[in-house]
Each structure stands twice: as C-alpha cells, then as structure tokens.
Amino acid sequence: MTDVPYAPHSIRVLPSWLLGRAAARGHRLVTEALAAEGLRMMHHAVLATVAELGPVSQADLARTLRVDPKDMVAIIHDLRGDALIDQTPDPADRRKNAITLTPAGQETLTRTTRLGNQANTTLTAGLTPAEEAQLIALLTRVVAG
C-alpha cells in the first residue's frame, strides 16, 4: 500500500476510508489497463452498456449511465471517430438515433473487458476465491444501502 495517503488510525479503520482507498486503487488499475486500448473507463462503460441494452439513444445512454448529456456527446464523438459505434435512425422513432456497436466495437469491448477483469484480479490478488466472492457480496449489500 505504498500509494495510500497518511491518515490517523481512527480514520484508517473506517469502512468509508477503506472503501475509498480500495476504489481509488481499482480505478487506477482499470484506467491503466484500458489506456493500452486508448480508451477511458467511460468509453468502456458506454460500449458495455450498448452491448447489453442493444440499440439505445444517446439520451437514454446518458440517463442510464448518469452522465451529463454534454459529456456523452464527447464520448460518442470519440467512439464514432474510432469506428466503434454506429448511429442510425431509430426505426421506432425517426427523430432519434440508435447507437449500436460496430464489429470493431465488439472486438474492442472483448479486449477491454478482459483488461478490466485482469486489473480487478490484480486488485483482489491478496484474497482467496472465497474471500473475493464474499467481498463482492458484502460490497453489493453496502452499495444497495
């Protein structure tokens, strides 16, 4: 834990502090892994969401991922520029464009998913498989509130 900032013991034992440090380390590991593909985490999140939901409008994508619509415009611009997504008129509502993955987008998503999984394996390397499963179950409960 060489990159962990100093905190007094009374703070270091707080779940909120520990979760923040774990999240920061995980974010750094995944960010570094995705950089190998020239992508940021939100690019990967958009590709994964489009793959999971199927054709989706830009507005729905921004709402689903809780991203400011102006930021989503830039993300979509990047992904279109790299030919990872297509925007075509939505057959259900011609006023909207439906975003879909291109074959290159699907291939990139496969690689970035693998890279993200490897980064998460590094994050939890000190845990047994049972401990990792327990951590995921506990964090899921914490996140759900």
pLDDT digits (tens, 9 = 90+) for 28-51: 999 999 999 999 999 999 999 999
Look at residue 19 and tell me if it is in a domain: yes
Give the whole-angstrom CA distance, residue 64 versus residue 135.
26
Q: Domain containing 111: what range? A: 9-144
Structural domains counted in the chain: 1
Q: Which of 19-23, 38-42, 87-91, 99-103 has the lowest mean pLDDT?
A: 87-91
pLDDT of 62 strictly over 70: yes
The two structure tokens encoding residue 59: 């507005």
Give the whole-angstrom CA distance, residue 12 versus residue 91.
54
| Residue 100 host element (H or E) | strand 93-101
Residue pair 105/98 in contact by the 8 Å Cβ criterion: no
Give the whole-angstrom CA distance, residue 56 versus residue 71.
17
- What DSSP assignment string belongs to 20-32? HHHHHHHHHHHHH
Look at residue 3 and tell me if it is in a domain: no
CATH number for the domain including 53?
Answer: 1.10.10.10
Look at residue 123 and tell me if it is in a domain: yes
- Name the pLDDT band for 96 (thresholds 50, 70, 90): confident
Model confidence pTM above 0.75: yes
Q: Give the model's pLDDT for residue 69.
A: 94
Look at residue 133 and tell me if it is in a domain: yes
Query: Which runs of consecutive H residues, i.e. helices, occur in the chain?
Result: 9-12, 15-35, 41-53, 58-65, 69-81, 103-123, 129-144
108 vs 12, 27, 49, 60, 114, CA distance in Å?
38, 19, 13, 22, 10
Look at residue 4 and tell me if it is in a domain: no
Look at residue 1 and tell me if it is in a domain: no
